[in-house]
Amino acid sequence: MLVSKPPNIQSDILVVDDLLENGQLLLQMLTEAGYEVRQAINGKQALRAARYDPPDLILLDIRMPDMNGYQVCEELKKSDNTAHIPVIFLSALNESLDKVKAFSLGGADYIAKPFDVTEVLARVNNQLTIANQQNQLAQQNQELQHLNAELRHTNSELEQFTSIVSHDLRQPLSSIKANIQRLMLKHWQEATPGIKERIERIDEITDRMNHLIENLLMYAQVGSNPETDYQTVDCNRLLIQVLNNLQQAIADSQAQLNIQDLPSLYGNPIQLIELFQNLIANAIFYSGDAPPQIVIAAEVKATEIHFTVGDRGIGIPENAYESIFQAFKRLNPQSQKPGTGIGLAICRKIVEAHGGKIWLESQVNVGTTFHFTFPQTLSTNHNN
């Protein structure tokens, strides 16, 4: 267990030496330097002092009767309460064997006698600085672990909440959709134009609400899927599925797509479909008055694969580049174009969950190109 003192308390040092003159010399040096210093004249006394009130640092003589410094250090390192205390060995011996043994037992440093004041203070300060940094790091790690545990708990609750809410919302939407279909089947012929318009409007809103629920579910689930859900995905075949899903929108807009040869990726196929589908749908819906012209390409680089989805649409002002990747942010909230305001937020979350990044380049009334990358390792390490 690491113990850190409040910043207003001076570091506490325990000096262990059976020769009083050596202990007194160190006590004087360290006290004048502003440290709090305690003394012990043998190993057993040192262990009792360290266990009762652990110091921040121990200066430990090797050659002592009954219990030498090696044995004291070994006992200190056995206890969780004292194992963290840095130990600087003191000895008049200079053989490399003594130093090796000292460090192997957990010693942090080694000072040879006779003492040089500058060296002693420098080594003491160095070890106290290291110990303080370790204490701070340990506390930060504990706080981080606590925050991670809270985050996992919150994410779990969010996933459960999203699942429950989506289920509870889908049921009434399904009921509304079924009743609309019954009305259209049984009473469409005798309905007035105004009633027909209202029924069609309700049907359209129901579809949009259902699409929003699906997007919310996708947004909540991205990042929580284990890598066991990943597989090698041929992006050329994936695009066939995407274009089938967007067949009606492509036909209605008379979109022209230029799709270059694409590489394979290792990832979640459902999420990758959602990524390309959202970007292509975005290019179609915001194409302006002319038929959309969309180019989909990829460049395989040394460390990453760089994809682009470009169009010649209405473009995006530069001050909106970052905000459009936020959930429920739309460039024109009054727009009658279909959309939930969450599609690009899903794209960013998918790309980042796969270890990549996404950004855009755009000119108003000229067009927009979305760029996104995936680490090269995702495509190369799993193709066997």
Structural domain contains residue 181 = no
What is the domain-level CATH number for residue 294?
Answer: 3.30.565.10
Q: Which of 115, 140, 161 is the C-terminal boundary of a domain?
A: 115
Residues in the chain, overall count: 384
- 292 with 318: CB under 8 angstroms? no
The residue range of the domain holding 79 is 12-115
Walk along the chain (384 residues) and give the pLDDT tens digit of each residue.
444 444 444 789 999 998 888 888 999 889 988 899 999 999 999 999 999 999 999 999 988 888 999 999 999 999 999 999 999 998 876 656 577 888 889 999 988 888 888 989 999 999 998 988 888 888 888 888 888 888 777 767 766 776 676 667 777 778 888 888 888 888 788 888 888 888 888 887 877 777 677 766 666 667 665 566 788 999 999 999 999 989 988 999 999 999 999 999 888 888 899 899 999 998 998 888 889 999 999 999 888 999 999 999 888 888 878 778 876 665 554 444 555 567 888 899 899 988 999 999 999 888 999 999 998 865 544 444
Is 371 strand, coil or helix?
strand
Total tally of structural domains belonging to the chain: 2
Q: Which of 115, 141, 174 is the C-terminal boundary of a domain?
A: 115
pTM given for the model: 0.53
Q: Which of 60, 90, 115 is the C-terminal boundary of a domain?
A: 115
Structural domain contains residue 111 = yes
The per-residue DSSP string of 100-165 comes to: HHHHHTT--EEEESSP-HHHHHHHHHHHHHHHHHHHHHHHHHHHHHHHHHHHHHHHHHHHHHHHHH
Burial class (CB in 10 A: 0-12, 13-18, 19+), 251: exposed
- 314 with 328: CB under 8 angstroms? no
